[in-house]
Amino acid sequence: MHHADKYQIGYYPAPKTPMLWAQKDHIEAPPIWCSVDLRDGNQSLIVPMSLEQKLDFFKFLCKIGFKEIEVGFPAASETEYTFLRALIEQDLIPADVTIQVLTQSREHIIRKTFDSLHGCKTPVIVHFYNSTSVAQREQVFRKSKDEIKKIATDGAALIKQLAAEYDGNFRFEYSPESFTGTEPEYALDVCNAVLDILQPTAEKPVIINLPVTVAMSMSHVYANQVEYMSMNLRYRENVILSLHPHNDRGCAVADTELGLLAGADRVEGTLFGNGERTGNVDIVTVAMNLYSHGIDPKLDFSDMPSVVAEYEKATHMQVYDRTPYAGALVFAAFSGSHQDAIAKGMDWRESKQLHQWTVPYLPIDPSDVGREYQTDVIRINSQSGKGGIGYLLEKRYGYHLPPKMREDFGYKVKSVSDHSHKELSTEEVRDIFQQSYLNVSTHLAATEVHYQQLPADRLKAMVTLSIAGESKTFTGEGNGRLDAVSNAIREGTGMDFSIVTYTEHALEEGSTSLAVAYVGIQWKSGCVTWGAGTDSDIMTASVKALISALNNK
């Protein structure tokens, strides 16, 4: 990186502002959202959407909850004109949705834009713009500040005139394009001149849009520029101040959030940030950030997998696995310590019957966006821990392993993942558990068990074992059935072990109610082996668990 000296700061800080936005710690209400997926998003695609894809995507944006949707630049593109006419002629625009059309501040394009809108029954925002930046004035237009301002004011006058001449419910939006490369005082002068012509009212507010056409500064600089404009625009009570951030510096979300704190009322952006170069601001992320602070964004992302699928189908773009809130892995925890904390947090929330969400490592409840804990949150590989593995087995299949057994099982699962160099599915985890512990009868098998009540609440057990294919019967006494069975096996076979852990519970598996028991036995050497058993009878399940633990020596 030897040529950094060729780059100069190309932005212009706002005159001193009180930076009131910096004293706020959160956004209190959602902005007005305007989707520009069908313009900025579509023109950035290698293969733009077909007419049918555009129509389907427009309906999808309405379904999500967008009330303002930019549908294109009808005067400059035949395909965008055709799309606009299809929306109007097929009566596809909902009554509560306002479409937005884009036009340069040039007479013939403005006139063609109004021609393209004939017959539209719903409100329309006519969005006109011209570039005001130093670089564009000097290099592209080679015009003075007054000449550039006249382009804006001439456009405003013509739009106001045509809106009166044409049938329709028209609203106006003006953008000083390349705002971030424009001196804020000059941008303010141009916008105020436009507002003087358009004369906004409470019934017909005008949108002033401040685009980050190219991101040039840190986000706080943009926030100061927005605050300066917000505090100095004329007719401010009748102006909707809008943001249109691009993501060249990777700061579009931050620019948007700080811009909203600084006084903006509206955001133009796209789903997942699709747009030219590095993209537009990702409305999904901004909206979900609000949601994570307890603010209803008024957009519906409750089925995020479907949103991703619709977006990918229409655009042929891919939502990256780590895209905030929407990526396939954004809630996934592979780390053992993360899994353990999540599992304990979920159990805490359930035991306390909490409504508030405070689970470690998960900023929102994955189920709020249509994701499942068992398949999307706890993910199993060689980095996983006993807590997460046990939690998955419990929540998906109903097995509540004792803590020490969880540890033993965790090592088995991690070993399989490590040697296979892959993530394990929940079904594979279940299979490892069942093959390793459940009803294991590789060497020993209890073929028959009978009990006899003795005085002093003692029991005698008569246990018939199949040992390497040979049948033998042993007798033992104990304080309970499992104690009697273990004593019979110990005394009959000479095995030196003692039961150190025993738990059991009901296991619902389909429509059949089963009991499951877990047994940990310690051998003379000090090692502990584990077994599990299932049966409709809890005592039979316990014996199966004991036999499984013996076989695992």
In this predicted structure, the answer to whether residue 456 has a pLDDT above a threshold of 80 is yes
Q: How confident is the model at residue 511 (pLDDT cuts 50, 70, 90)?
A: very low
34-43, 245-254, 330-339, 519-528: least confident range: 330-339
- Say yes or no to pLDDT of 491 above 50: yes
Least trusted range by pLDDT, from 182-196, 459-473, 505-519: 505-519
The predicted structure's pLDDT at residue 334: 74
Q: Do 58 and 87 meet the contact criterion of CB atoms below 8 Å apart?
A: yes
Say what the pLDDT of residue 423 is: 83
Question: Looking at residues 300-325, what average pLDDT do you find?
Answer: 97
Residue 261 or 380, more confident: 261
* Average pLDDT, rounded, for the chain: 94
- Residue pLDDT, tens place only, 149-176: 999 999 999 999 999 999 999 999 999 9
Contact (CB, 8 A) for 125 and 117: no
Q: Exposed, middle or buried, 424 (CB in 10 Å: 0-12/13-18/19+)?
A: buried
58 by DSSP, 3-state: which? helix
pLDDT of 474 over the 90 cut:
yes
Q: What's the pLDDT band for 364 if we cut at 50, 70, 90?
A: very high
3-state secondary structure string, 304-323? HHHHHHHHHHHHCCCCCCCC
- Predicted confidence (pLDDT) per residue in 48-82, tens digit: 999 999 999 999 999 999 999 999 999 988 999 99
Range with the poorest average pLDDT among 222-231, 260-269, 320-329, 378-387? 378-387
pLDDT of residue 342: 86
Band the pLDDT of 385: cuts 50, 70, 90. low
pLDDT at 368: 97
* C-alpha dihedral (314, 316, 320, 321), degrees to nearest 10: 80
Give residue 430's pLDDT band: very low, low, confident or very high (50, 70, 90). Answer: very high
Quickly state the pLDDT bin for 33 (edges 50, 70, 90): very high
Of 42-46, 60-64, 381-385, 399-403, minimum mean pLDDT range: 381-385
Chain center to CA of 502: 42
Under 8 Å between Cβ of 500 and 466? no
Instruction: Determine the pLDDT at residue 382.
Output: 62
Name which of 118-132, 354-368, 507-521 the model is least confident about. 507-521
Residues 401-430 have a mean pLDDT of: 89
Q: By 3-state DSSP, what share of the chain in percent is helix, strand and coil, each rounded to 5?
A: 45, 20, 35
pLDDT at 130 > cutoff 90: yes
pLDDT of residue 513: 78
pTM beyond 0.75, yes or no: yes
CB 381 within 8 A of CB 417: yes
- Exposed/middle/buried for 478, CB within 10 Å: 0-12, 13-18, 19+? middle
Q: What is the pLDDT of residue 242?
A: 98
pLDDT at 31: 98
pLDDT number for residue 510? 54
- Which residues are 466's β-sheet partners? 445, 471
Confidence at residue 30, expressed as pLDDT on a 0 to 100 scale: 98
**Segment 279-306 mean pLDDT:** 98
Q: Lowest mean pLDDT: which of 153-167, 367-381, 435-449? A: 367-381
The number of residues in the chain equals 553
Can you tell me which residue has the tokens 């105020």? Answer: 192
Q: What is the pLDDT, as a whole number, of residue 339? A: 79
Question: Could you give all domains of the chain from N- to C-terminal order, each with its CATH number?
Answer: 27-310 (3.20.20.70), 336-433 (no CATH), 444-551 (3.30.160.270)
Q: What is the pLDDT of residue 378?
A: 67
Query: Amino acid identity of 169?
Result: N
Handedness of CA 369, 374, 380, 384 (dihedral sign): positive
pLDDT at 509: 58
* % residues pLDDT > 70 (the chain): 98
Phi, psi of 450, rounded to the nearest 5 degrees: -125, 150
Q: Where are the beta strands (DSSP E) in 161-215?
A: 170-177, 206-212
Work out the pLDDT band at 380, boundaries 50, 70, 90: confident
